[in-house]
Amino acid sequence: MNRTGLLIALGIAIVTGLAFGLYPELDLSVARYFYAVTDGTNNFAWRIYPPLMTARDIGLWISTLLIVPVLAALVWKLILPRRKLLMSGRAILFLIATLALGPGLFVNVVLKDHWGRSRPIDVAQFGGPEHFVAWWDPRGDCPNNCAFVSGDVSGAFWTIAPAVLMPPPLRAVAVGAALALGTGMAVMRVMAGGHFVSDVIFAGVFTFLIIWLTHGLIYRWPRTRLTDEATERAIERAAMPGHNLLVRLFGGKPSATPK
């Protein structure tokens, strides 16, 4: 997580923003190519092609499988706060925070439900009832779960977060795999008519920027970075009141809250 990655992400954002903002027909041109794919009844027929649907499901499950052990380790600590964490406290905080802030809050709550850009399959140019707007215009006809940006792609690119925590010999390979997963999911969503190209590019950029900033706060910047020990103690302090309440309910002796 160095400045090179940040500069690359910002460069992609600027180029994409200008190109697809000044020439929004670029989004339509790419979508039109996939709209022409038909099974005789449906356009954007890739969206009902079983191998593509299976590949999308697999991509979605990867993020889920990566976060489940993290949540399990946190729950274990909340139930038994005196027990040592099963994994790094900073890693737990970093992974849960990036998933919650990126694909969770920013993408699926702030943007997708408030930025009314319609999906390709829904716009008039491709037989739908809604009008097309450029990526920067939130005044589309979509009421919720809209095109800008892609939640699936954001979730796939979130795998960069666990990848950057891998040991140095494996980190480059893990980050490369995460980028490949995110790019593959982006291509599939465009092929299916679920998103325009600018939707999926910005999904990846926004997710990476949230990961980059959160990693800096927790791991890199001297004024804010944490230690595993301090993070574990904070979780323990937060868990102790609930733990003691359960102990009292079962007739046990509560423990002192750690300082």
pLDDT given for residue 41 in this prediction: 87
What tokens appear for 33 in the block?
Answer: 């190519």
CB 155 within 8 A of CB 60: yes
pLDDT at site 257 = 56
Q: Give the C-alpha separation, 96 to 66, whole Å.
A: 11
Instruction: Measure the CA–CA gap between 213 and 187, rounded to whole angstroms.
Output: 26
Q: Residues near 34 by Cβ (< 8 Å), separated by ≥ 6?
A: 44, 46, 120, 190, 191, 192, 193
Query: Per-residue pLDDT averaged across 72-79, rounded?
Result: 94
pLDDT in tens, 221-237: 999 999 999 999 999 99
- Look at residue 92 in the predicted model and tell me its pLDDT: 97
* 67 to 60, 90, 239: CA distances (angstroms): 12, 14, 20
Is there a contact between 156 and 133 (Cβ–Cβ < 8 Å)? no
pLDDT at 249 over 90: no
Tens of pLDDT, residues 9-57: 999 999 999 999 999 999 999 999 999 999 888 999 999 999 999 999 9
DSSP lists the bridge partners of residue 123 as: 130
Give me the pLDDT at residue 254, please: 59
pLDDT confidence bin for 7, thresholds 50/70/90: very high
